[in-house]
Protein backbone atom coordinates (compact mmCIF):
# COMPACT_ATOMS: atom_id res chain seq x y z
CA UNK A 1 0.00 0.00 0.00
CA UNK A 2 1.51 3.32 -1.07
CA UNK A 3 1.47 6.44 1.06
CA UNK A 4 -0.66 9.34 -0.11
CA UNK A 5 0.73 12.18 1.98
CA UNK A 6 3.91 10.99 3.68
CA UNK A 7 7.18 11.24 1.78
CA UNK A 8 10.64 10.13 2.88
CA UNK A 9 10.62 12.75 5.65
CA UNK A 10 7.06 13.31 6.79
CA UNK A 11 4.44 15.46 5.06
CA UNK A 12 5.84 18.41 3.17
CA UNK A 13 4.75 21.01 0.63
CA UNK A 14 4.13 24.66 -0.19
CA UNK A 15 2.34 26.54 2.59
CA UNK A 16 -1.28 27.27 1.69
CA UNK A 17 -1.41 24.46 -0.85
CA UNK A 18 -2.59 20.94 -0.06
CA UNK A 19 -1.53 19.30 2.15
CA UNK A 20 0.16 22.16 4.07
CA UNK A 21 -3.01 24.00 5.04
CA UNK A 22 -4.36 24.71 8.54
CA UNK A 23 -7.39 22.50 7.96
CA UNK A 24 -5.33 19.50 6.85
CA UNK A 25 -2.72 19.92 9.59
CA UNK A 26 -5.46 19.98 12.22
CA UNK A 27 -6.84 16.70 10.86
CA UNK A 28 -3.30 15.31 10.70
CA UNK A 29 -2.79 16.21 14.35
CA UNK A 30 -6.04 14.48 15.26
CA UNK A 31 -5.18 11.32 13.29
CA UNK A 32 -1.65 11.23 14.64
CA UNK A 33 -2.93 11.70 18.18
CA UNK A 34 -5.26 8.75 17.79
CA UNK A 35 -2.52 6.48 16.38
CA UNK A 36 0.62 7.56 18.23
CA UNK A 37 -1.03 7.89 21.62
CA UNK A 38 -3.25 4.83 21.36
CA UNK A 39 -1.02 2.85 23.71
CA UNK A 40 -1.69 4.24 27.18
CA UNK A 41 0.12 1.38 28.93
CA UNK A 42 1.90 2.73 31.98
CA UNK A 43 -0.07 5.98 32.13
CA UNK A 44 -1.88 6.65 35.42
CA UNK A 45 -5.61 6.25 35.09
CA UNK A 46 -7.28 9.39 33.82
CA UNK A 47 -4.10 10.98 32.45
CA UNK A 48 -3.86 11.92 28.79
CA UNK A 49 -1.00 10.85 26.52
CA UNK A 50 1.51 13.66 25.93
CA UNK A 51 3.04 14.76 22.59
CA UNK A 52 5.80 17.33 22.23
CA UNK A 53 5.78 19.88 19.36
CA UNK A 54 8.85 21.73 18.08
CA UNK A 55 9.36 23.82 14.97
CA UNK A 56 11.99 25.65 12.97
CA UNK A 57 12.00 29.41 12.36
CA UNK A 58 9.63 29.70 9.37
CA UNK A 59 6.91 32.30 9.74
CA UNK A 60 4.28 29.67 8.87
CA UNK A 61 5.27 27.69 11.95
CA UNK A 62 3.04 29.80 14.17
CA UNK A 63 -0.05 28.99 12.09
CA UNK A 64 0.69 25.30 11.69
CA UNK A 65 1.62 24.88 15.34
CA UNK A 66 -1.80 26.21 16.38
CA UNK A 67 -3.58 23.89 13.94
CA UNK A 68 -1.57 20.86 14.98
CA UNK A 69 -2.14 21.37 18.69
CA UNK A 70 -5.86 21.86 18.08
CA UNK A 71 -6.06 18.48 16.36
CA UNK A 72 -4.06 16.75 19.07
CA UNK A 73 -6.14 18.29 21.86
CA UNK A 74 -9.34 17.24 20.07
CA UNK A 75 -8.01 13.66 20.14
CA UNK A 76 -7.51 13.85 23.89
CA UNK A 77 -3.74 14.39 23.81
CA UNK A 78 -1.83 16.84 26.00
CA UNK A 79 0.76 18.98 24.23
CA UNK A 80 4.15 20.35 25.25
CA UNK A 81 5.42 23.29 23.16
CA UNK A 82 9.16 23.99 22.92
CA UNK A 83 9.11 26.64 20.16
CA UNK A 84 12.02 26.79 17.68
CA UNK A 85 14.08 23.68 18.32
CA UNK A 86 16.22 21.40 16.10
CA UNK A 87 14.57 18.26 14.82
CA UNK A 88 17.00 15.97 16.71
CA UNK A 89 16.29 17.94 19.89
CA UNK A 90 12.62 17.01 19.62
CA UNK A 91 13.60 13.35 19.18
CA UNK A 92 15.82 13.53 22.27
CA UNK A 93 13.31 15.37 24.48
CA UNK A 94 10.49 13.01 23.49
CA UNK A 95 12.55 10.02 24.61
CA UNK A 96 14.11 11.67 27.68
CA UNK A 97 10.75 12.88 29.03
CA UNK A 98 9.06 9.51 28.32
CA UNK A 99 6.41 11.14 26.14
CA UNK A 100 4.22 9.26 23.71
CA UNK A 101 5.42 11.06 20.56
CA UNK A 102 7.20 14.10 19.19
CA UNK A 103 6.30 16.31 16.23
CA UNK A 104 8.46 18.76 14.28
CA UNK A 105 7.05 21.51 12.06
CA UNK A 106 9.77 22.00 9.46
CA UNK A 107 10.69 21.64 5.81
CA UNK A 108 14.35 21.09 6.69
CA UNK A 109 16.58 22.56 3.97
CA UNK A 110 13.73 23.92 1.81
CA UNK A 111 12.97 27.68 1.42
CA UNK A 112 10.65 29.46 3.86
CA UNK A 113 7.64 29.19 1.53
CA UNK A 114 7.58 25.42 2.24
CA UNK A 115 6.83 23.64 5.48
CA UNK A 116 6.13 20.17 6.72
CA UNK A 117 5.25 17.89 9.61
CA UNK A 118 7.38 14.96 10.76
CA UNK A 119 6.90 12.64 13.68
CA UNK A 120 8.99 10.74 16.19
CA UNK A 121 7.89 7.75 18.23
CA UNK A 122 8.28 7.47 22.00
CA UNK A 123 11.76 6.02 21.46
CA UNK A 124 12.92 9.09 19.51
CA UNK A 125 12.97 7.27 16.17
CA UNK A 126 11.26 8.25 12.93
CA UNK A 127 8.00 6.45 12.31
CA UNK A 128 7.99 3.18 10.35
CA UNK A 129 5.96 3.02 7.15
CA UNK A 130 3.12 1.02 8.74
CA UNK A 131 2.52 3.70 11.37
CA UNK A 132 2.38 6.43 8.73
CA UNK A 133 -0.11 4.29 6.79
CA UNK A 134 -2.28 3.99 9.91
CA UNK A 135 -2.28 7.78 10.31
CA UNK A 136 -3.19 8.26 6.65
CA UNK A 137 -6.10 5.81 7.00
CA UNK A 138 -7.60 7.95 9.77
CA UNK A 139 -7.28 11.14 7.72
CA UNK A 140 -10.20 10.06 5.57
CA UNK A 141 -12.47 9.58 8.59
CA UNK A 142 -14.40 12.42 10.26
CA UNK A 143 -12.95 13.97 13.40
CA UNK A 144 -14.79 13.04 16.58
CA UNK A 145 -13.76 15.52 19.25
CA UNK A 146 -13.35 14.01 22.69
CA UNK A 147 -15.77 15.06 25.47
CA UNK A 148 -14.72 18.33 27.06
CA UNK A 149 -13.40 16.74 30.25
CA UNK A 150 -11.04 14.56 28.18
CA UNK A 151 -9.66 17.25 25.85
CA UNK A 152 -5.93 17.81 25.81
CA UNK A 153 -4.14 20.65 27.59
CA UNK A 154 -1.19 22.70 26.27
CA UNK A 155 1.88 23.77 28.25
CA UNK A 156 5.11 25.43 27.19
CA UNK A 157 8.53 24.04 28.19
CA UNK A 158 10.96 26.80 29.11
CA UNK A 159 14.05 24.67 29.71
CA UNK A 160 14.04 22.62 26.50
CA UNK A 161 17.06 24.36 24.94
CA UNK A 162 19.19 23.98 28.07
CA UNK A 163 18.33 20.28 28.33
CA UNK A 164 19.35 19.70 24.71
CA UNK A 165 22.59 21.70 25.00
CA UNK A 166 23.67 19.50 27.90
CA UNK A 167 22.75 16.37 25.96
CA UNK A 168 24.87 17.42 22.97
CA UNK A 169 27.84 18.15 25.23
CA UNK A 170 27.47 14.74 26.88
CA UNK A 171 28.25 13.02 23.55
CA UNK A 172 31.73 14.60 23.45
CA UNK A 173 34.47 12.84 25.49
CA UNK A 174 34.95 14.44 28.90
CA UNK A 175 38.74 14.25 28.57
CA UNK A 176 38.65 16.21 25.30
CA UNK A 177 37.79 19.86 24.63
CA UNK A 178 37.80 22.41 21.82
CA UNK A 179 40.06 25.00 23.44
CA UNK A 180 42.25 26.83 20.97
CA UNK A 181 39.93 26.20 18.02
CA UNK A 182 38.25 29.03 16.15
CA UNK A 183 35.09 27.73 14.49
CA UNK A 184 32.70 29.44 12.08
CA UNK A 185 29.18 28.14 12.74
CA UNK A 186 26.47 28.71 10.12
CA UNK A 187 23.04 28.06 11.65
CA UNK A 188 21.13 28.75 8.39
CA UNK A 189 18.89 31.21 10.28
CA UNK A 190 17.19 28.05 11.48
CA UNK A 191 16.30 26.14 14.60
CA UNK A 192 19.87 25.76 15.91
CA UNK A 193 20.52 29.51 16.12
CA UNK A 194 20.09 29.65 19.92
CA UNK A 195 21.53 26.20 20.68
CA UNK A 196 24.56 25.25 18.58
CA UNK A 197 26.76 28.28 19.46
CA UNK A 198 26.37 27.48 23.17
CA UNK A 199 27.37 23.83 22.69
CA UNK A 200 30.64 24.70 20.96
CA UNK A 201 31.41 27.63 23.25
CA UNK A 202 30.85 25.62 26.42
CA UNK A 203 33.25 22.96 25.08
CA UNK A 204 35.94 25.62 24.80
CA UNK A 205 35.85 26.79 21.18
CA UNK A 206 35.94 30.37 20.00
CA UNK A 207 32.70 30.50 18.04
CA UNK A 208 31.96 32.86 15.17
CA UNK A 209 28.23 32.40 14.54
CA UNK A 210 26.66 33.36 11.23
CA UNK A 211 23.13 32.69 9.95
CA UNK A 212 21.92 33.17 13.52
CA UNK A 213 19.37 35.97 13.07
CA UNK A 214 16.15 34.35 11.84
CA UNK A 215 13.29 36.62 10.79
CA UNK A 216 10.82 33.97 9.63
CA UNK A 217 11.69 34.50 5.97
CA UNK A 218 15.45 33.96 5.69
CA UNK A 219 15.82 30.32 6.74
CA UNK A 220 18.29 28.50 4.42
CA UNK A 221 18.58 31.61 2.22
CA UNK A 222 22.13 31.61 0.77
CA UNK A 223 23.46 30.02 3.95
CA UNK A 224 23.67 26.74 5.82
CA UNK A 225 24.41 23.21 4.68
CA UNK A 226 22.78 23.72 1.28
CA UNK A 227 24.74 26.89 0.48
CA UNK A 228 28.19 26.23 1.89
CA UNK A 229 29.89 29.08 0.03
CA UNK A 230 28.82 31.45 2.82
CA UNK A 231 30.47 29.32 5.50
CA UNK A 232 33.55 28.73 3.36
CA UNK A 233 34.08 32.46 2.77
CA UNK A 234 33.58 33.22 6.47
CA UNK A 235 36.20 30.61 7.46
CA UNK A 236 38.77 32.29 5.24
CA UNK A 237 37.76 35.80 6.31
CA UNK A 238 38.01 35.02 10.03
CA UNK A 239 41.02 32.71 9.65
CA UNK A 240 39.12 29.96 11.42
CA UNK A 241 40.31 26.39 11.94
CA UNK A 242 37.03 24.80 10.86
CA UNK A 243 33.63 25.70 9.52
CA UNK A 244 30.35 24.00 10.43
CA UNK A 245 27.19 24.48 8.38
CA UNK A 246 23.84 23.16 9.57
CA UNK A 247 20.50 23.27 7.77
CA UNK A 248 17.25 24.87 8.86
CA UNK A 249 16.19 22.12 11.26
CA UNK A 250 19.65 21.02 12.36
CA UNK A 251 19.84 17.46 11.07
CA UNK A 252 22.25 18.09 8.16
CA UNK A 253 25.94 18.88 8.40
CA UNK A 254 28.67 20.15 6.09
CA UNK A 255 32.12 21.22 7.28
CA UNK A 256 35.12 23.14 5.99
CA UNK A 257 38.86 23.17 6.62
CA UNK A 258 40.90 26.28 7.40
CA UNK A 259 41.31 27.06 3.69
CA UNK A 260 37.54 26.95 3.15
CA UNK A 261 37.48 23.57 1.36
CA UNK A 262 34.06 22.00 1.95
CA UNK A 263 33.60 18.38 3.02
CA UNK A 264 30.29 16.63 2.35
CA UNK A 265 28.44 13.90 4.21
CA UNK A 266 30.39 11.05 2.61
CA UNK A 267 33.73 12.55 3.65
CA UNK A 268 32.54 13.32 7.18
CA UNK A 269 31.17 9.81 7.69
CA UNK A 270 34.48 8.44 6.43
CA UNK A 271 36.42 10.60 8.91
CA UNK A 272 34.29 9.34 11.81
CA UNK A 273 34.57 5.72 10.64
CA UNK A 274 38.34 5.93 10.21
CA UNK A 275 38.78 7.44 13.67
CA UNK A 276 36.58 4.80 15.27
CA UNK A 277 38.45 2.04 13.47
CA UNK A 278 41.82 3.41 14.57
CA UNK A 279 40.55 3.86 18.14
CA UNK A 280 39.17 0.33 18.33
CA UNK A 281 35.53 1.13 18.92
CA UNK A 282 34.10 0.78 15.43
CA UNK A 283 31.08 -1.50 15.76
CA UNK A 284 30.16 -3.26 12.54
CA UNK A 285 30.17 -1.32 9.31
CA UNK A 286 28.85 1.83 7.64
CA UNK A 287 25.52 2.32 5.88
CA UNK A 288 25.30 4.76 2.97
CA UNK A 289 22.67 5.19 0.28
CA UNK A 290 22.37 4.66 -3.44
CA UNK A 291 23.86 8.15 -3.81
CA UNK A 292 26.94 7.52 -1.65
CA UNK A 293 30.13 7.98 -3.64
CA UNK A 294 31.73 4.78 -4.90
CA UNK A 295 35.10 6.15 -3.81
CA UNK A 296 33.97 6.05 -0.18
CA UNK A 297 32.91 2.42 -0.49
CA UNK A 298 36.35 1.55 -1.86
CA UNK A 299 38.16 3.57 0.83
CA UNK A 300 36.21 1.87 3.61
CA UNK A 301 37.07 -1.47 2.04
CA UNK A 302 40.77 -0.68 2.34
CA UNK A 303 40.17 -0.18 6.08
CA UNK A 304 38.29 -3.51 6.23
CA UNK A 305 35.11 -1.69 7.24
CA UNK A 306 31.95 -3.30 5.78
CA UNK A 307 29.65 -1.07 3.74
CA UNK A 308 25.99 -1.39 2.73
CA UNK A 309 23.65 0.81 0.69
CA UNK A 310 20.11 1.76 1.67
CA UNK A 311 17.46 3.61 -0.29
CA UNK A 312 17.84 7.39 -0.29
CA UNK A 313 16.53 8.95 2.91
CA UNK A 314 17.96 8.89 6.41
CA UNK A 315 14.97 6.84 7.60
CA UNK A 316 16.17 3.99 5.37
CA UNK A 317 19.76 4.40 6.52
CA UNK A 318 18.47 4.06 10.07
CA UNK A 319 16.46 0.95 9.24
CA UNK A 320 19.45 -0.80 7.67
CA UNK A 321 21.72 0.20 10.57
CA UNK A 322 19.27 -1.33 13.01
CA UNK A 323 18.86 -4.42 10.85
CA UNK A 324 22.64 -4.97 10.73
CA UNK A 325 23.28 -3.96 14.34
CA UNK A 326 25.65 -1.19 13.19
CA UNK A 327 26.00 2.36 14.53
CA UNK A 328 27.34 4.68 11.81
CA UNK A 329 25.79 5.79 8.53
CA UNK A 330 24.80 8.78 6.48
CA UNK A 331 24.06 10.48 3.21
CA UNK A 332 26.13 12.61 0.87
CA UNK A 333 23.72 15.47 1.59
CA UNK A 334 24.93 15.65 5.18
CA UNK A 335 22.58 13.48 7.21
CA UNK A 336 24.94 11.60 9.55
CA UNK A 337 23.71 9.02 12.05
CA UNK A 338 25.76 7.94 15.07
CA UNK A 339 23.36 5.60 16.84
CA UNK A 340 25.64 5.19 19.83
CA UNK A 341 25.10 8.92 20.45
CA UNK A 342 21.52 9.61 19.31
CA UNK A 343 18.51 7.85 17.83
CA UNK A 344 18.43 10.07 14.74
CA UNK A 345 20.65 12.25 12.57
CA UNK A 346 21.95 15.28 14.45
CA UNK A 347 24.12 17.94 12.82
CA UNK A 348 25.57 19.27 16.08
CA UNK A 349 26.42 15.86 17.51
CA UNK A 350 27.87 14.66 14.19
CA UNK A 351 30.08 17.75 14.03
CA UNK A 352 31.36 16.93 17.51
CA UNK A 353 32.29 13.41 16.36
CA UNK A 354 34.30 14.86 13.48
CA UNK A 355 35.98 17.41 15.74
CA UNK A 356 36.89 14.62 18.17
CA UNK A 357 38.63 12.79 15.32
CA UNK A 358 40.48 15.96 14.34
CA UNK A 359 41.61 16.63 17.91
CA UNK A 360 42.81 13.07 18.43
CA UNK A 361 44.67 12.92 15.10
CA UNK A 362 45.93 16.52 15.27
CA UNK A 363 44.96 16.75 11.59
CA UNK A 364 42.98 18.87 9.22
CA UNK A 365 40.06 17.30 7.42
CA UNK A 366 42.06 17.28 4.19
CA UNK A 367 44.97 15.47 5.82
CA UNK A 368 42.80 12.95 7.61
CA UNK A 369 40.71 12.03 4.55
CA UNK A 370 43.60 12.08 2.06
CA UNK A 371 43.16 8.34 1.42
CA UNK A 372 39.56 8.92 0.26
CA UNK A 373 39.28 9.77 -3.43
CA UNK A 374 35.76 10.71 -4.49
CA UNK A 375 34.69 9.78 -8.00
CA UNK A 376 33.08 12.58 -10.05
CA UNK A 377 29.29 12.51 -9.85
CA UNK A 378 26.78 14.27 -12.06
CA UNK A 379 23.29 14.84 -10.63
CA UNK A 380 20.53 16.20 -12.84
CA UNK A 381 16.98 16.94 -11.67
CA UNK A 382 14.17 16.58 -14.19
CA UNK A 383 10.78 18.01 -13.23
CA UNK A 384 7.86 15.68 -13.93
CA UNK A 385 4.27 15.23 -12.82
CA UNK A 386 3.68 13.37 -9.57
CA UNK A 387 3.59 9.61 -10.11
CA UNK A 388 5.78 9.54 -13.22
CA UNK A 389 6.53 5.90 -14.18
CA UNK A 390 10.26 5.21 -14.19
CA UNK A 391 9.68 1.88 -15.92
CA UNK A 392 8.93 3.70 -19.19
CA UNK A 393 10.52 1.75 -22.02
CA UNK A 394 12.45 4.66 -23.54
CA UNK A 395 13.87 5.64 -20.16
CA UNK A 396 14.97 2.10 -19.40
CA UNK A 397 16.54 1.82 -22.85
CA UNK A 398 18.57 5.00 -22.22
CA UNK A 399 19.72 3.61 -18.86
CA UNK A 400 20.83 0.39 -20.50
CA UNK A 401 22.81 2.30 -23.11
CA UNK A 402 24.47 4.38 -20.42
CA UNK A 403 25.40 1.31 -18.37
CA UNK A 404 27.04 -0.21 -21.42
CA UNK A 405 29.03 2.97 -22.05
CA UNK A 406 30.16 3.17 -18.40
CA UNK A 407 31.10 -0.49 -18.04
CA UNK A 408 32.68 -1.36 -14.70
CA UNK A 409 34.05 2.17 -14.22
CA UNK A 410 30.80 3.76 -13.15
CA UNK A 411 27.21 3.38 -12.01
CA UNK A 412 23.76 4.93 -12.50
CA UNK A 413 21.06 5.84 -9.99
CA UNK A 414 17.64 6.87 -11.30
CA UNK A 415 15.03 7.66 -8.68
CA UNK A 416 12.04 9.83 -7.85
CA UNK A 417 12.51 12.53 -5.22
CA UNK A 418 10.66 11.85 -1.98
CA UNK A 419 9.86 15.53 -1.40
CA UNK A 420 9.43 17.14 -4.84
CA UNK A 421 8.00 16.14 -8.28
CA UNK A 422 11.47 15.46 -9.65
CA UNK A 423 13.34 12.57 -11.17
CA UNK A 424 16.95 12.54 -10.01
CA UNK A 425 19.50 11.23 -12.50
CA UNK A 426 22.90 10.44 -10.99
CA UNK A 427 25.83 9.10 -12.99
CA UNK A 428 29.18 8.39 -11.39
CA UNK A 429 32.43 7.32 -13.03
CA UNK A 430 36.14 8.01 -13.09
CA UNK A 431 35.62 10.28 -16.13
CA UNK A 432 33.61 13.51 -15.54
CA UNK A 433 32.93 14.04 -19.24
CA UNK A 434 31.56 10.52 -19.63
CA UNK A 435 29.36 10.95 -16.55
CA UNK A 436 27.89 14.21 -17.84
CA UNK A 437 27.28 12.81 -21.30
CA UNK A 438 25.41 9.76 -20.01
CA UNK A 439 23.45 11.73 -17.40
CA UNK A 440 22.22 14.11 -20.07
CA UNK A 441 21.32 11.15 -22.28
CA UNK A 442 19.09 9.66 -19.57
CA UNK A 443 17.62 13.05 -18.56
CA UNK A 444 16.65 13.70 -22.18
CA UNK A 445 14.78 10.39 -22.28
CA UNK A 446 12.92 11.29 -19.07
CA UNK A 447 11.91 14.69 -20.46
CA UNK A 448 10.57 13.12 -23.65
CA UNK A 449 8.60 10.53 -21.70
CA UNK A 450 7.25 12.97 -19.10
CA UNK A 451 3.66 14.17 -19.73
Report the distance separating Cα 127 and Cα 100, nearest Å: 12
Report the distance separating Cα 364 and Cα 179, nearest Å: 16
- C-beta of residue 191 within 8 angstroms of C-beta of residue 249: yes
69 CB-near residues (< 8 Å, 6+ apart): 29, 53, 79, 81, 152, 154
- C-beta of residue 378 within 8 angstroms of C-beta of residue 439: yes
| Known catalytic residue at 106 | no
- C-beta of residue 271 within 8 angstroms of C-beta of residue 257: no
Query: Can you list the positions of beta strands (E) in 216-368?
Result: 242-246, 253-256, 262-263, 286-289, 307-310, 328-330, 336-338
439 CB-near residues (< 8 Å, 6+ apart): 378, 379, 380, 402, 425, 426, 427
| Among 432, 427, 431, 428, residue whose Cα is nearest residue 442 | 427
Q: Is 35 helix (H, G, I), strand (E, B) or coil?
A: helix
Tell me which of 18, 60, 106, 108 is the catalytic residue: 108
Rg value, the chain, Cα? 22
| Among 170, 55, 53, 169, residue whose Cα is nearest residue 106 | 55
Catalytic residues: 108
Amino acid sequence: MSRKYFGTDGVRGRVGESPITPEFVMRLGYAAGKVLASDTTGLPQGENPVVLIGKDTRISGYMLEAALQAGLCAAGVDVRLVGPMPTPAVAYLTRALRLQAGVVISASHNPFEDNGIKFFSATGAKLPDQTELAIEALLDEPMQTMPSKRLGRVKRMDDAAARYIEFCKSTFPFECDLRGLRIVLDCAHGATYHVAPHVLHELGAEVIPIGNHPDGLNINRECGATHTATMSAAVRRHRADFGIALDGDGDRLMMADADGTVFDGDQLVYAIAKHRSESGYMKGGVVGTLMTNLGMEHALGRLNIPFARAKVGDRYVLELLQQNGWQLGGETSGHVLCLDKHTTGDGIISALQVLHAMRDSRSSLAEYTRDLTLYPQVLLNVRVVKGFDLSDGAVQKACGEAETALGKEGRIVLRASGTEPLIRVMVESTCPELSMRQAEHIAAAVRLAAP
